[in-house]
Amino acid sequence: MAGGDGNGQKIDEQPGTLLVVDDNEMNRDLLSRRLAKRGHDVLMAEDGYRALEMIEDHDFDLILLDIMMPGLDGYEVLAKIREQHGPGDLPVIMATAKDESRDIVRAFKLGANDFVTKPFDFPVVRARVATQVALKRSQQALAKALDRIQKNLDAAARIQQSFLPTADPGFAGVRFAWKYEPCDELAGDTLNIIPLDDRHVGVYVLDVSGHGVASSLLSVALSRLMTRLTASDSILWNEAEDRPSTPTEVVDELAQRFPYDIETGQYFTLAYGVLDVERRQLCYTSAGHVPIILARPGADPVQLDSTGPPIALVPSEIMPSEYTESVVDLAPGDRLYLYSDGIPEATNTDDEQFGEARLGELVTELLSEDLDNTLGMLVDRVRAWCGEAAFDDDVTVLAVEVSR
């Protein structure tokens, strides 16, 4: 259904449930009949008190509200409506014989959506009613769409978190702890602890560039790939030699499977290590990731780094994917921290980064604390550093402790 707005333009009219509030019976009847002819379901209230009662009992799409009424005037009714309903939830058009600017300004300040003046120019009334009903319908549709999106995001976040470790794998002589705080519903970070055999454990922290759905999809794909399933389909196991894949074998395989893609522009960094529990050794490599930190009682923190570019950052012919790995011997009381750059790059209100040096000092300071408590304390300390500046990146950290 369409009607004119007085200027020759056509306006789509969507039927709605309307409430006409006016102490003048003739005005109520006139508006109600003419609006009903346009397909609207119209109810009437003779004063402000009755209007508020009806609003409690009905789901109206719009209120046509007279200003000059005995008892509660239109301004007071509007103020009461806005205590419970926002302008997008329940539009209100003020109807008045006055057209002075101060009355119009007062109505808008109280939350009116629009106004019409008496005597009514009905094509104008129709056009303004149609506009407000259509806006409400659009906002309702948008709210439903946003609700569906939020439900999908929540479901995706649950899927993403299902790839995180659920418990310490229980190797004698070593303990694990982790902290994972996405800055949005979906994260580009992920981590895992993967038992490879009875003496080897794979540990990694991975960080996909960017945020949101695209980053999380790649993060989930990588999480799925870096899971110890069977020897025949796991990149973490060298089936030919029946042993855990070395860190460089894992990273080289990832670089082959995820080449540079100019269309997506996505890349990721990775710190991956294989912990030999019996020998107390970590063999590790890095694909453009921040260094692993070794915190050792009575010693300065050590940054364990290994060369290699982020995966899929640039074409292989420009920067060949040549990765190296290193081995570090561990002693009782040592702790290893694998983390994402959301921690050292966290900034305070002066735009100063927390930094890797400060992080190293902090984990060394926390050596006397129980491992399970240290990660919460670490994140709280970084959050306090940020102050009013919230985390703008995912915060992920995985800790390994060699038992004393």
CATH code: domain 2-142 is 3.40.50.2300
The tokens describing 41, both together, are 């379901």
Q: Measured in whole angstroms, how far is the alpha carbon of residue 237 from the centre of its chain?
A: 35
Compute the radius of gyration of the chain from its Cα atoms. Answer: 32
Q: In one letter, which amino acid is 360? A: G
Which phi and psi (to 5°) does residue 368 adopt?
Answer: -80, -10
Inter-residue contact 15 to 36 (CB < 8 Å): no
Whether residue 58 is predicted with pLDDT greater than 90 in this model: the reply is yes
Other Cβ atoms closer than 10 A to 146:
10
Distances (CA, A) of 312 to 77, 129, 263, 317: 62, 55, 12, 12
DSSP codes joined into one string, 9-42: -EEE----EEEEE-S-HHHHHHHHHHHHTTT-EE
pLDDT at 390 > cutoff 80: no
**pLDDT given at position 4:** 47
**What is the DSSP track for 241-303?**
TTEEPPHHHHHHHHHHHS---TTT---EEEEEEEEETTTTEEEEEEEBPPPEEEE-TTS--EE
pTM of the complete model beyond 0.85: no
Q: Is the pLDDT of residue 105 over 50?
A: yes
State which CATH number among 3.30.70.1150, 3.60.40.10, 3.90.660.10, 3.40.50.300 fits the domain covering 162-402.
Answer: 3.60.40.10
Q: What's the pLDDT tens digit per position in 299-356?
A: 999 999 767 889 988 776 666 557 899 999 999 999 999 999 999 999 998 889 999 9
Tens of pLDDT, residues 130-161: 999 999 999 989 989 988 988 888 888 888 88
Indicate the helix (H) or strand (E) that contains 339: strand 335-339
Q: What are the backbone angles phi and psi of residue 390, rounded to the nearest 5°? A: -75, 160
* Cα-Cα end-to-end distance for the chain: 80
For residue 15, is pLDDT > 60?
yes
Residue 7 has pLDDT above 50, yes or no: no
| Dist. CA 216–CA 186, nearest whole Å | 6
User: Which residues of the chain does CATH 3.40.50.2300 include?
Assistant: 2-142
**Confidence (pLDDT) at 231:** 56
What pLDDT shows up at residue 100?
Answer: 72
Listed in order, the ranges of the chain carrying CATH 3.60.40.10 are 162-402
Q: What is the mean pLDDT of residues 376-403?
A: 89
CA 90 to CA 113: how far, in whole Å?
Answer: 9
> For 354-366, what is the mean pLDDT?
94
Q: Which of 61-65, 261-265, 344-348 has the highest mean pLDDT?
A: 61-65
Most confident of 24-28, 110-114, 117-121, 381-385: 110-114
118 or 249, which is more confident? 249
Give the mean pLDDT of the chain.
Answer: 89
Minimum mean pLDDT range among 77-81, 180-184, 218-222: 180-184
Are 91 and 63 in contact by the 8 Å Cβ rule? The answer is yes
- pLDDT for position 337: 97
CA distance 144 to 141: 5
Cβ-Cβ contacts under 8 Å for 266 (sequence gap 6 or more): 208, 209, 210, 214, 215, 218, 312
- How many other CB atoms are found less than 10 A from the CB of residue 159? 13
Mean pLDDT of 349-369: 93
Number of Cβ within a 10 Å radius of residue 22: 26
| Distance separating alpha carbons of residues 392 and 81, to the nearest angstrom | 38
Instruction: Identify residue 5 by its one-letter amino acid code.
Output: D
Distance CA 238, CA 223 (A): 18
